[in-house]
Amino acid sequence: MRRKRLGVVTDGAFNAGLTVRLDPGCSTEDLRIGSFVIVEGEHNRYFSMISDMQLRATDARLLADPPRDASPFIAKALVGTNTYATVQVKPMLMLEKASQYEFAADTGGIRPVRTIPMHFAELCEADEMDFATVFGHEGGVNFAMGTPLTMDIPICLNLERLVERSNGIFGQSGTGKSMLARILLAGVIKARAAVNLIFDMHSEYAFDKQTEDGTWVKGLRQIFGSQVMVYTLDERAAARRNVDVTLRLGLNQIEAEDIMLLADELDLKPTTAATAGLLYDVYKEDWLKKLLSMSGEELADFCQRTGAHEGATEALQRKLRGIGRRPYVVEEAPFSAIDEMVAALERGKHIILEFGQHSSALDYMLVSNVVTRRIRRLYQQKMERYEETKDEADKPRQLMITLEEAHKFLNPTVARQTIFGQIARELRKYNVTLMVIDQRPSGIDPEVMSQLGTRVSGKLTEERDIEAVLTGVSGRSFLRGALESLNTRQEILIMGHAVPMPIQVRTRQYDEEFYRAMGMREGRSAAADIVDLFGE
């Protein structure tokens, strides 16, 4: 079956893309920026994206003095003769053809574009077979994220490729980033592509949550049951909900680098790093406990012995006392609770750490950094052990850490100091990657942004944020139009490592049908929801 023809190639360049003159019967109103289309060359089929549209005329006098109150008949008569439209098309992938409508069996499949078609190559609508050829069929590690904006065909991304490099979800407030993250996380859990550690700042992911339109949607614990473990810092929340562990953080677990991450929140001075370093040199892991308990005489004696600045040390003590008063912070805590997290992850469990009422930026940044630093060290040890033994049983599972408000951890000032910056730059060196979620991608260090393998973005309007999302991406000028043309709800642009080419998608619904597709049993929902919410 022949595809619907849209027009023919009349001009173009490899770097600038192709100019296609639309056929008279094809209206620009039937097309969209970012649409997936096919250019039929003589020897290759080019999977392409529409990046721009233009209205043109053959006679400049017609534009200088357009017909007034022209009848539909006159307007129709002018189309294709005196007036016409062109679209700019960017080829993204190519596939060699054995004949006009058949593919060669030994071509090696889809390849990056290395050439362009000649004049008068046909531009056609993509059909279901084209989408399946490029994006695959749903099943296994291929996970349907949604459908094209103008068709009802599943668009899949490869979850194994998604989790093997750090990735990002972006979009301005109200574009549904948390819901999109739930969909992606559910796909990763179902496909067993990785285990997940989710830092849940606003209690979005574990249990029921009401959306902006007033409907209630289920959390990952309710969909996947015991596969998902829930930790919390909030003792009161633990009493109300079916939480597995109430986590406590010890002063002995907090290192100087964790404090430096909080420089903006605590208004710390540049001398803080040096002062904290001197304290650690003397007291090791008890440095913060000792600092907070020092009397005036003890503090003065410490400064005299070590050469620390007394005023700077007093200021640091005063500013860090708020940390010691956090309800979830104790003087000393064993690392066993965090080590048990790693053991659970090794068993294939997925962990959500809720912050409950302790959801300030200070709480979120401090706890996330301490927990991740410990987990990353354990993963490094496990990977080094695996490299020694080369025994697959010793290889740690792929771990994806989900991080909201990512710019607080990965801004240019602190990205090189935090454990999250190290993970983003190391790619999959220790089988640990990030999924960062943010509405301000321009606040993230450009080096970190360039390392993100897959980017899923909703609507963005700030120029700096658009530039940030497209950092390190080829064909930026073409993708900019696709990104700017998105609606604010349920429309996203996916690009990068997990998809063969960028594509605009209308995201799938997060509803009862989705829960069933993820394996939730209908008979389980009512009773299990009560257990998950209130305990047995």
10-residue stretch averages of pLDDT, the chain, 536 residues long: 88 92 89 91 93 86 70 65 88 79 52 93 92 90 91 91 94 88 95 94 88 86 94 81 87 86 83 88 90 91 90 90 90 87 92 89 89 90 92 91 90 81 81 93 91 92 91 80 86 92 92 90 49 45
Residue 176 has what DSSP assignment?
Answer: -
How do residues 307-341 score in pLDDT, each as one tens digit? 888 899 999 999 999 898 899 999 888 888 888 98
φ, ψ of residue 139 to 5 degrees: the values are 135, 150
Helices 310-324/296-306 angle, 10° precision: 130
**In one letter, which amino acid is 529?**
D
Q: Give exposure, 286-299, as e/b (b: 16+ Cβ within 10 Å).
A: bbbbbbbebeeeeb
Structure confidence at residue 122 (pLDDT): 94
Predicted confidence at residue 532, as pLDDT, reads 46
Sign of CA dihedral 282, 286, 291, 294: negative
Q: Report the amino acid identity of residue 166.
A: S
Any idea of the CA torsion for 227, 231, 236, 238, to the nearest 10 degrees?
A: 30
Phi-psi region for residue 127, left (φ > 0), alpha (ψ -120 to 50) or beta?
A: beta
Phi then psi for residue 337, to 5 deg, are -65, -40
- Cα 341 from Cα 38, distance rounded (Å): 48
Query: In sequence order, what DSSP letters do the residues of 230-284 get, joined into one string?
Result: EEES-HHHHHHTT-SEE--EEGGG--HHHHHTTHHHHT--TTHHHHHHHHHHHHG
Length, in residues, of the chain: 536
pLDDT given for residue 75 in this prediction: 65
Per-residue pLDDT at 335: 85
Nearest CA to 35 out of 506, 524, 534, 533 is that of 506
Please state, in angstroms and rounded to a whole number, the distance separating the CA atoms of residues 465 and 490: 19
Q: Which strands, in side-by-side order, build the sheet including 503-507?
A: 155-158, 142-147, 503-507, 491-496, 454-457, 167-170, 432-438, 399-404, 195-200, 350-354, 228-232, 245-246
pLDDT of residue 202: 87
Give the closest residue to 338 by CA, choosing from 366, 367, 364.
Answer: 367
Q: Collapse the DSSP code of 21 into the 3-class scheme (helix H, G, I; strand E, B; otherwise coil) and give the result.
A: strand
Q: How many whole angstroms separate alpha carbon 302 and alpha carbon 299?
A: 5
Residue 34's pLDDT is 87
Structure tokens at 43: 């020897």
d(CA 275, CA 1): 74
**What does the block give as tokens for 138?**
């749903």
| CA distance to 160, 188, 350, 393, 534, per residue, from 195 (Å) | 12, 8, 5, 16, 25
Q: Rounded to whole angstroms, how far apart are CA atoms 75 and 72?
A: 5
Secondary structure string (H, E, C) spanning 398-451:
CEEEEEECCHHHHCCCCCCCCHHHHHHHHCCCCCEEEEEEECCHHHCCHHHHHH
What are the structure tokens assigned to 328, written together?
A: 């979830």
The DSSP element (H or E) to which 340 belongs, if any, is: helix 336-346
**17, 138 contact by CB (below 8 A):** no
Residue given tokens 């003769």 in the structure block:
81
The pTM of this model reads 0.87
- Cβ neighbours, 10 Å, residue 319: 17
pLDDT, position 93: 93
Which DSSP symbol is given to 473?
A: -
Q: What pLDDT does residue 434 have? A: 94
237's CB contacts (< 8 A; 6+ apart) are 203, 243, 354, 356, 357
